[in-house]
Amino acid sequence: MVVHRTVAVNGINMVVAEQGEGPLVLLLHGWPETSHSWRHQIGPLADAGYRVVAPDQRGFGRTDRPAGVEQYTMLHLVGDVVGLIEALGEEPAIVVGHDWGAPVAWHTALLRPDLVRGVAGISVPPAPRAPAPPLSLLRAHFGEGFYQIYFQRPGVAEAEFGADIRATFRTLLGGSAQAPVVQDGEGFLDRFTTPEQMPDWLEDEDIDVAVESFERSGFTGGLNWYRNIDRNWELLAPWHDARITPPAYYLCGENDLTRAFTDSTAMAKAAADLRGVVDVAGAGHWVQLERPDEVNAALLGFFGSL
């Protein structure tokens, strides 16, 4: 049975979902999600003999939302994970992340390898530090309308997503996306086609959870993660060309849109002990929801190798 509780971590109160006993596994959600995005993983991984903990990360769900943009850097996010491992009384842990949670997982393994038994990323691969500030590279390649640049404008994306939160999540979770480059006069959601009927892996109750969560939290905390992309590049300069040393694993849906702007060819350069790369045929970005049995089996296979 999943238990929700609040843990004091790194100067904030973090709400976690927890189940099981055994080696610690942390599941880090992405944007715009909460711990609910791991609803098909928590039970099966716990039943397989692991203590599974999925937090609402900084700025999301019932976890605290600091006011300053600068309080959402990668160092803060990794600090939250480190603090959570310590608060749970476990070390080292297996750290798994999806979407934005994947870079947090990769950087936790990079910065604190002593606390990480193994690290797995879903959707976003491990990557070496960029040769220049990332937003400048994205502008040069995709133009000013690339969604990560669109998200830099204070209040703009918040107003778009908050205008009708239910419609926002029906579109983001259930829709299909074109190239994520916002055209003049458009919003980010205009890049998506929303089906009349949601996919069979997405229940109305799941949309309800998302609506209730983001009505409470708003969107600014999560968007602040994007607003630190260049600041992260500056802060992580001491680790330029450093490699992730704990055992690593990568999984991605075959049709994940992030493939258009991430470089999976550099994984071996970024991770010294890359133990597996899995493409889930026919799956999209929300692969852990679309194909939970395959994702769970793959993760347990990786966990068993550690």
Mean pLDDT of the chain: 96
Query: Is the pLDDT score of 48 beyond 90?
Result: yes
User: What helix, strand, coil percent values describe the chain, rounded to 5?
Assistant: 45, 20, 35
pLDDT of residue 180: 86
CA 72 remoteness from chain centre: 14
pLDDT of residue 264: 84
pLDDT digits (tens, 9 = 90+) for 146-169: 999 999 999 999 999 999 999 999
pLDDT of residue 32: 97
Percent of the chain with pLDDT over 70: 100
Integer Cα distance of 122 and 72 in angstroms: 21
Query: Is the pLDDT score of 263 beyond 90?
Result: no
Q: Of 18-22, 83-87, 195-199, 225-229, where does mean pLDDT reach its minimum?
A: 195-199
φ, ψ for residue 38, nearest 5 deg: -100, 20
Percent of the chain with pLDDT over 90: 91
pLDDT digits (tens, 9 = 90+) for 66-76: 999 999 999 99
Mean pLDDT of 173-186: 86
29 is a catalytic site residue: no
CATH number at residue 246: 3.40.50.1820
> Which tokens hold the place of 273?
């002990």
pLDDT of residue 116: 98
Query: Is the pLDDT score of 91 beyond 90?
Result: no
What total number of domains does the chain contain?
1
36, 76, 107, 285: the catalytic one is 285
Q: What is the radius of gyration, based on Cα positions, of the chain?
A: 18
For strands 192-193 and 51-55, give the pairing. Answer: unpaired
Mean pLDDT of 34-47: 98
User: Strands (DSSP E) along 10-154, which ranges?
Assistant: 12-19, 24-28, 51-55, 93-98, 116-122
Mean pLDDT of 201-206: 94
On whether the CB atoms of residues 244 and 107 are closer than 8 A, the answer is no
- Domain membership of residue 132 as a residue range: 3-304
pLDDT of residue 90: 82
pLDDT of residue 195: 82
99, 107, 206, 256: the catalytic one is 99
99 is a catalytic site residue: yes
Query: Is the pLDDT score of 196 beyond 90?
Result: no
